[in-house]
Chain A
Amino acid sequence: SQTIHQWPATLVQPVGSPLSLECTVEGTSNPNLYWYRQAAGRGLQLLFYSVGIGQISSEVPQNLSASRPQDRQFILSSKKLLLSDSGFYLCAWSIRQGRGEKLFFGSGTQLSVL
Chain B
Amino acid sequence: SQQGEEDPQALSIQEGENATMNCSYKTSINNLQWYRQNSGRGLVHLILIRSNEREKHSGRLRVTLDTSKKSSSLLITASRAADTASYFCATVFQGAQKLVFGQGTRLTINP
Residues of A within 8 A of B (CB): 6, 32, 34, 36, 41-44, 46, 49, 51, 59, 88, 90, 92, 99-108, 110
Contact = CB atoms under 8 A, between A and B. Distances in A.
B41 A34 contact: no
Q: Which of B3, B35, B45, B99 has the most CB of A within 10 A?
A: B99
Given A105-B42, A108-B40, A108-B42, A46 B96 contact: no
Interface residues of B, number: 25
B40 A44 contact: no
A32 B40 contact: no
Contact of B99 (A100, A106, A108, A110): A100
Q: Which of A59, A88, A105, A110 has the most CB of B within 10 A?
A: A105
B102 A43 contact: yes
A90 B101 contact: no
B77 to A, nearest CB: 22
